[in-house]
């Protein structure tokens, strides 16, 4: 586990516990029968002990799944509060018509009845195969069983229950020591394929025991997500079910206001970054984590657009997989990104090794760059040569034959 760090006079320390590390949260997970494999966890409930501030980010895909639509409605209805999140894996409940909406609402109602709260205080998320209806005769009893088993210390079960093609669970938590006291932020996320965030193609859940207004919580979620969950891509595909939720219980007694907002922001960034990079490391068929930094852009948005274009290039991703220092593919992707790019002034570095400068290659450096590309963590840096002062980083992974196998067999 990473060591404690000090940022802006804050001491941020990694801790165990994931999404239930903060005070005031419990969770439980079980196998209710959505997934065919016996005992595979496929349902989880995350609950706050009292009504919590809540915020959410959702897919920008216009084909939005029923749980996305229901959760949006609930956040709007409550003005940003919630008691619980219910999540199933193995079935996306997307493109399922009126029955899908009814099922998503019933999931919320079942949790609400068990917790004695209003259904609008329950957020819903689903992940799995699109176009398949939930087996509510299994889900409803499962919800009852999960609520009855709610407890602290079960964050790792929740992390496993939300997985689909993920090769490993993803959870992380930190404590933040401030002049006002100590609070905790925890989280878990899933994502492996269909990863092109805008919002992120994933499910993610963050919790904190700080006392935060819904407005500030929403701001922290959006700002931390911009440079983490929205700065990753596996395959350029945007899902129907992307959801990222945050809940704040206030159980630590530490109040986050405008003055203390940086403390919450840094904690959200720390947890979100770890989870987001875990999604890329666990990308379908991935063998390498690739960071693409673009500099010298006229705006941060321009830098992000170029970095994302390079990150989503199948030619770049396959070259990295094969340890081929093909700088031409990087230059070509940058040049077609739609952002100002001066090829006569641009530079390309791979692993800090200069491969292209002022319109000409440095092919003598290719063998050293190839050695870097054989590693597990790859750095690509592009200077646009436009005299700008903005930069951005996007993380992605390589593209392998295993990605094709996984997605060729996903439904069958």
Do residues 12 and 4 make contact, with C-beta atoms less than 8 angstroms apart? yes
Q: Which residues touch 295 (CB under 8 Å, ≥6 apart)? A: 303, 381, 382, 383, 384, 391
**Smallest Cα–Cα separation from 230: which of 196, 278, 182?**
196
- Please tell me which residue in 20, 178, 188, 201 is annotated as part of the active site: 201
Phi/psi for 86 (5° steps) reads -115, 130
Characterize 97-111 residue by residue with b for buried, 16 or more Cβ atoms within 10 angstroms of its Cβ, and e for exposed.
eeebbbbbbbbbbbb
Beta strands in 203-352 (DSSP E): 203-208, 211-212, 243-248, 255-256, 289-297, 347-350
Do residues 89 and 42 make contact, with C-beta atoms less than 8 angstroms apart? yes
Give just the sign of the alpha carbon dihedral 109, 221, 388, 394: negative
State how far Cα 298 lies from the chain centre: 27
How far is 92 from 131, CA to CA, in rounded Å?
8
State how far Cα 198 lies from the chain centre: 11
Do residues 52 and 24 make contact, with C-beta atoms less than 8 angstroms apart? yes
- The secondary structure of the chain in percent helix, strand, coil, rounded to multiples of 5, reads 35, 30, 35
| Total residues belonging to the chain | 412
Residue 293, both tokens:
């930094």
Residue 213, both tokens:
């207004």
201 in active site: yes
Q: Which residues touch 140 (CB under 8 Å, ≥6 apart)? A: 106, 110
Q: Which long-range contacts (C-beta less than 8 Å, at least 24 apart) are formed by 362-368?
A: 366/325
Give the max Cα distance, the chain.
Answer: 69
Q: Return the DSSP state at 60.
A: -
Residue 196, both tokens:
């092109």
How far is 412 from 399, CA to CA, in rounded Å?
22
* Residues that are catalytic: 201
């Amino acid at each position: 586990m990473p060591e404690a760090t000090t940022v802006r006079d804050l001491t941020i320390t990694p801790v165990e516990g994931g999404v239930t590390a903060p005070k005031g949260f419990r969770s439980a997970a079980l196998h209710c029968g959505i997934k065919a494999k016996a005992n595979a966890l496929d349902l989880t409930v995350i609950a706050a002990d009292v009504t919590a501030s809540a915020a959410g980010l959702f897919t920008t895909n216009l084909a939005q799944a029923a749980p996305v639509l229901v959760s949006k409605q609930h956040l709007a209805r409550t003005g940003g509060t919630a008691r619980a999140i219910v999540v199933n894996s193995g079935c996306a409940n997307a493109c399922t018509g009126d029955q899908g909406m009814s099922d998503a609402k019933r999931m919320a109602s079942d949790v609400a009845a068990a917790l004695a709260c209003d259904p609008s205080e329950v957020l819903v998320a689903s992940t799995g195969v699109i176009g398949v209806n939930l087996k509510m005769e299994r889900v409803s009893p499962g919800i009852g069983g999960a609520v009855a088993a709610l407890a602290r210390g079960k964050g790792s079960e929740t992390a496993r229950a939300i997985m689909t093609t993920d090769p490993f669970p993803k959870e992380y938590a930190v404590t933040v020591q401030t002049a006002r006291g100590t609070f905790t932020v925890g989280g878990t996320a899933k994502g492996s394929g269909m990863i092109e965030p805008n919002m992120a193609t994933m499910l993610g859940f963050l919790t904190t025991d700080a006392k935060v207004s819904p407005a500030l919580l929403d701001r922290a979620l959006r700002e931390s997500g911009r440079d983490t969950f929205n700065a990753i891509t596996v395959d350029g595909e945007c899902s129907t079910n992307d959801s990222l939720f945050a809940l704040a219980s206030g159980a630590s007694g530490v109040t986050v206001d405008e003055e203390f907002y940086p403390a919450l922001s840094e904690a959200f960034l720390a947890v979100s970054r770890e989870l987001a990079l875990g999604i890329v490391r666990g990308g379908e068929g991935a063998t390498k984590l690739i960071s693409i930094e673009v500099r010298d852009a006229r705006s941060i948005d321009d830098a992000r657009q170029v970095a994302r274009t390079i990150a989503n290039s199948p030619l770049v991703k396959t070259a990295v997989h094969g340890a081929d220092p093909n700088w031409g593919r990087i230059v070509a992707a940058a040049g077609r990104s739609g952002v100002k790019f001066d090829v006569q002034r641009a530079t390309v570095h791979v692993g800090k090794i200069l491969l292209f400068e002022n319109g000409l290659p440095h092919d003598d450096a290719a063998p050293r760059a190839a050695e870097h590309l054989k590693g597990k963590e790859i750095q690509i840096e592009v200077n646009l040569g436009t005299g700008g002062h903005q930069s951005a980083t996007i993380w992605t992974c390589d593209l392998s034959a295993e990605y094709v196998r996984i997605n060729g067999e996903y439904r069958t």
